[in-house]
Structures are given as structure tokens and as C-alpha cells.
Structure 1
Amino acid sequence: MIFNIQQNIHIHSIKITSIGNSSVFQIGSAGIIKPLSQLSNTGGFTEPAPQLELEPLAPVSSVSPVTHPSHRN
């Protein structure tokens, strides 16, 4: 079965807050959405990234309380 669809789409403003590796953003109709994955080394890196060194979190007892200005007595 073949459908022929004519559309006029006018977009005045659009906001995309997040795009992930498997995101699909579609405007209008599509009979088939084919997955496409591309991996690009735009920085020309030749070695793996160094391991991240995390600093230990401060103990809860050493954290001083913070009062928001709207909650003061």
C-alpha cells in the first residue's frame, strides 16, 4: 500500500532540551525511520582518555547548614 502525503509545515519556534544517542526528532510523516549511528574522532585522539580521579566526599557531619534568605526568622 502506497500513501502519498503532501504537507506544509511552518515552525516559528522550537526548543530541544536534550539529544541522546538514540534520539529521534521527527517533523511530519515518515513511512520508515532507518537507524543510523556514526562515530567520529573529530579531535584526532589516538589513545584512551586518562582515568578520572575523584576526590572523596566530605563527611555529612562536617558540612555546615545553609539557610536560604527567605527562610530566616
Structure 2
Amino acid sequence: MDIIKFKILQDGDSVERVENNEVHVRRKNGDYVVYKLKTEENEIVMYSFDALIITKGHGIFKVIQDADLDDLK
């Protein structure tokens, strides 16, 4: 199983939606943030994954290939 993990949430944040290459987050203070999965300029990169995890953290983006169920935490 391949996993993409975003560690971007803070206490009180909520994910509003995930659409295409965007993760929409409502901050506790009411701010609205859109995170975009970008590719290098002039290069097409396709991400294929089985699970997308959005959790608490400080802006870390991680791709875990050949993951097991413990990596879902």
C-alpha cells in the first residue's frame, strides 16, 4: 500500500475538503488555507496512492511506499 501523509493540522483545525491536488483546511481562528501538491516546473509527476492521511504536524509531507497498517497512524 502506498500512502501520502500530510502533517499540517493544528489543534482545532478541520479539513473542509480534498479536491484534485488541493487540501482545504479551516483554521481554529477562522482562516482558510489551501495546500497544493505541486510538481517541478516543466515536469509532470503523477502520484498514485492508496490512502491519503491528513493529521497534526508542522508542514511535513511524506510519501510512504509499500506501507503497512502501522503507517496509517
Q: TM-score, normalised on structure 1?
A: 0.22
Structure with the larger strand share: 2
Q: Per chain length, whose mean CA-contact separation is higher, i.e. which structure has more relative contact order (CA < 8 Å, sep 6+)?
A: 2
- Computing the radius of gyration from Cα coordinates, the structure with the larger value is 1
